[in-house]
Structure 1
């Protein structure tokens, strides 16, 4: 549990502010995360890493000479938004471009890919490397689906060293990708972790047992076995990693090793484990180079640990042994005195978009949209704990907090837009942008996209007719499926969104009023969301634990159904223009 807390929804931001206050000589706060205190040297590629909060020293703790130039910091266990990634990348970028490096999770991939597209559109060269070291998250034939855990450090070190050597963007990217391809990790947990503000852990492990293959977001292990001695545990971890030796590492006899504590397993225990690993590696004909034993990718107070092995070549060994100086990782000697101070971006400038001139009727429609978004915020506030509980059964338990942050930000942005006289379209667009920015994660990106798409379709000309609203919902559904790649039956919010959109279109085509049509469509969405309990997930973090989710509805589908039901209640009180 968290012992130091103000508000769970602001935990990540509050913690980041304190982190920067403690390390002002090394990092500065920028919108969406942190960047080095000094500007990136001309001609040097900027390495921008990132992911959800709750894993310190990943990711902010690895910003500094020798590793990263900036870190985008999402909410607890949720990816940063595309806007956050873009903001950090802009702050860190030089003329040589930016490498984005992060763990391979659905939300991170979605948001970082959007950020990469935007950076390229702005003329900033950008490449990406996703870390896929966790051997338990997908079989060898599907390595591209594996998630990143403590192997992040190997890839970040390789990228940071290459950037410091003056390599161009393609060469930095290639070395980071090679480091990833030659890195493997496996973890075990003895207990789960608890999200800030919650009372129960995301998963539990029976006494005397340990979960093999858990994730750093609280995803439970793929198997539970009896607790082993240190020697037995060393054998289990080592055997499984050596069985995954990369084909490209044939003949490589030198390895880097990370024994990583996940929160509650202390240094003495980690050293004990490492001592048992050494003879096993030597027996396998391997020489360990500069081992790392400590905390590098944590999960709050989870009692667990992981073992990472990277098979080195000459260039990767140079990177692995190179100096670095960050808040949480220091090695060798680094001169930081000559670093040029960065010019801080003007983050006080207003980002409120110019409001389109509206008629009284259009402004009234904008006010009604505000009431609808307020209703979503209220129902999510009420149900956030339950949504988190549903998400924790086979996922990482952050859905409730993420939805809460997004809905609150959307409501605040909608209120400002409506107060300025904006029409329905502008209110929706600005609410969507705020939702995506503050929520992060997959759901944040998709909800933000949906609201923005609806706003662009509806526009600000008077009040939207029921058919116009139905067309906007259909456009949002198409955008969500196109971006998130989910289909009916994948056990995602799409399982509720598609029948909702189809039912709304059918009813408005029959001439039903918007309030009646929306309410009936919301009932269809609610039934569809309940029906996801019978499905097995085919996408996202729940996929490796699909059997655990059987019998439990998808939290994304449930939150969507709750939201549209709340909007239906608001629409019942208003007369929108009906054709």
Structure 2
């Protein structure tokens, strides 16, 4: 388990600060992560990678010559926010465009895509290549649904080397796609990992058993078997990864050149890995493959998880050149890098512009005070229930929902109080809260709650009359916006399963003449009933989708937290004025 931390909610920020100070030769701290501290004399396409913290050397450890130009580093096991990604991308961009690359997780896709849209709106050529190497997270014919694990390294390396070689944006994107198409990974675990401050690991494996198909965010495995010998594990890896369905198009194993990467996930020692690799090498050679530049060590970890993954990158001539190209980063170095042509970068201005408060009516300012009171209620209920939300999230997910909701709600309240004290109306207060919830929480829930708050604010405005109908319209709009944004629908076992009945009930009751407090009470009950009902559903989206039956019988944490929040706000509405 992790032992050294101050306040758990500050762990990621403090870790990033310390990492940047310890590796100033390669990186410098910017808002949202790190960027290179030097630049080449001639500008290139910039490769910006990222994801949640807790996976070192991914992601900051892979920033440097021949690899990434910047890394957006989110909270523990949570995607960086759109603002963090945008900040790192702008600090890393050199005028030749930005390629974003990251593991294929719902929260990462939401936030990186939002950042990409903002960069494109400013005329920056921005592309995305998601990593989808994990063979257990979706069938072979649905590779676009697979998550990214240790295979991140091969894709990042191909893209970074292509950029360093002077490829244009089309070429860098093509190289990254090719590397992803030719990369496959399988992982196993013997014990789960423990987040800083947590009393228990995110999942457990019975004594003498091994979980197969785990994720790198503390997600439990998809299957369990008895712990094999080192040779037995090697044989399992090779059997699954050399299955005909997993051999990339255009590759014939006999005579193929392959890079094997045996990755320790946190607590398995290198000595053990070498024992496993000895048998892996024999099996690959027996199958007729030619081993090229193998790597054994830690490349994508999960805190203290005792686990191992094997990645195979099937080479062609171009990929072999890119893989062997020199790289010099804090955690990954290969070949000889000529640093004489690199120069110190100018100072980077990543300061946040001072908030501009639009004019607001007195009525809207009174409504803004109600918003602050509601956020206070949200913070209180999340603080009390954060540990339980994390517990149910860990059953089939990554266990970070409670931490993310706590960070997000606290940041939203602080921002709302500041805006309100400066005379902001309802829309401006909700917009400030939305931005900070997304920025501090990251992850899927951070993005979704930002959409909810921002949409409600847009419907309320800063000068229009604030009525029960306006609130109901705002939440109805938020329900639609969340489904459009995250692509989830009722029945997918997500927050949407509670949000939709809540919004529909509120709209119907307000439309029939109920006061907001009465209508909200009925809607809160509908949300709670719907959240309870998610226990009987199979997940259709998110990280839990890969775990099928493990999620059955447990309510969705996003739906549960929404119902908690609805109930908490219900209790403060009768005591407020202005709505």
TM superposition score category, shorter chain reference? over 0.9
1:355-434 to 2 correspondence within 5 Å? Answer: 355-434=357-436
TM, length-normalised to structure 2: 0.98
Q: Which residue does 1:481 correspond to in 2?
A: 483
2:518 aligns with one of 492, 516, 519: 516
Deviation at 1:114, TM superposition (A): 1.3
1:342 aligns with one of 339, 342, 345: 345
Higher deviation after alignment, 505-514 or 244-253: 244-253
Q: 1:59-86 deviations in whole A, cap 9, x for unaligned?
A: 0000000100000111111111111111
Q: Does 1:278 align with 2:288?
A: no
Q: Which residue does 2:271 correspond to in 1?
A: 268
Is contact 2:363-2:578 (8 Å) kept? no
Q: Which residue does 1:288 correspond to in 2?
A: 291
Q: 1:507-540 deviations in whole A, cap 9, x for unaligned?
A: 1111211122112211111111111111111100
1:327 aligns with one of 327, 330, 333: 330
In 2: Cα distance, 1:198 partner to 1:463 partner: 46
Q: Which residue does 2:498 correspond to in 1?
A: 496
Is contact 1:429-1:452 (8 Å) kept? yes
Give the RMSD, CA atoms, in angstroms: 1.2
In 1: Cα distance, 2:339 partner to 2:379 partner: 46
Q: 1:317-346 deviations in whole A, cap 9, x for unaligned?
A: 111111111111111211335422223333
- Give the secondary structure class of the aligned counterpart of 1:450: helix
In 2: Cα distance, 1:40 partner to 1:119 partner: 22
Q: Which residue does 2:107 correspond to in 1?
A: 107
Q: 1:345-379 deviations in whole A, cap 9, x for unaligned?
A: 3334x534211222333222211111111111111
Higher deviation after alignment, 162-171 or 504-513: 504-513
Deviation at 1:397, TM superposition (A): 0.3
In structure 2, relative to structure 1, the CA distance for the partners of 1:40 and 1:105 (3 Å cut) is: farther
1:124-273 to 2 correspondence within 5 Å? Answer: 124-243=124-243, 244-250=246-252, 253-273=256-276
Q: 1:182-238 deviations in whole A, cap 9, x for unaligned?
A: 110101101111111111111111111111111111111111111111111111101
- Give the secondary structure class of the aligned counterpart of 2:296: strand
Higher deviation after alignment, 199-208 or 257-266: 199-208
Deviation at 1:315, TM superposition (A): 0.8
In 1: Cα distance, 2:255 partner to 2:123 partner: 40
Deviation at 1:94, TM superposition (A): 1.3
Q: 1:468-499 deviations in whole A, cap 9, x for unaligned?
A: 01001111111100011111111100010000
Unaligned runs of 5+ in 1: none
Q: Which residue does 2:83 correspond to in 1?
A: 83
Is contact 2:363-2:466 (8 Å) kept? no
- Give the secondary structure class of the aligned counterpart of 2:19: helix
Is contact 1:40-1:92 (8 Å) kept? no
In 1: Cα distance, 2:29 partner to 2:380 partner: 31
Q: Which residue does 2:575 correspond to in 1?
A: 573
Deviation at 1:463, TM superposition (A): 5.2
Is contact 2:370-2:577 (8 Å) kept? no
Is contact 2:45-2:94 (8 Å) kept? yes
Deviation at 1:38, TM superposition (A): 1.9
In structure 2, relative to structure 1, the CA distance for the partners of 1:323 and 1:156 (3 Å cut) is: same
Q: 1:383-430 deviations in whole A, cap 9, x for unaligned?
A: 110000010000000101111111111011101100001111110011
Is contact 2:255-2:288 (8 Å) kept? no
In 1: Cα distance, 2:251 partner to 2:319 partner: 12
In structure 2, relative to structure 1, the CA distance for the partners of 1:337 and 1:372 (3 Å cut) is: farther
Deviation at 1:142, TM superposition (A): 0.9
- Give the secondary structure class of the aligned counterpart of 2:187: strand
- Give the secondary structure class of the aligned counterpart of 1:542: helix
- Give every structure 1 segment of 4 or more consecutive aligned residues whose post-TM-superposition deviation is greater than 4 Å: none
Deviation at 1:449, TM superposition (A): 1.1
- Give the secondary structure class of the aligned counterpart of 1:217: coil
Is contact 2:162-2:322 (8 Å) kept? yes
Q: Which residue does 2:530 correspond to in 1?
A: 528
- Give the secondary structure class of the aligned counterpart of 1:150: coil
Higher deviation after alignment, 246-255 or 443-452: 246-255
Q: Aligned residue pairs: how many?
A: 576
Deviation at 1:462, TM superposition (A): 5.7
Unaligned runs of 5+ in 2: none
- Give the secondary structure class of the aligned counterpart of 1:307: strand
Is contact 1:38-1:339 (8 Å) kept? yes
In 2: Cα distance, 1:551 partner to 1:40 partner: 55
Q: 1:147-174 deviations in whole A, cap 9, x for unaligned?
A: 1111110001100110001000011000
Q: Which residue does 1:558 correspond to in 2?
A: 560
Is contact 1:365-1:463 (8 Å) kept? no
- Give the secondary structure class of the aligned counterpart of 2:219: coil
- Give the secondary structure class of the aligned counterpart of 1:249: coil
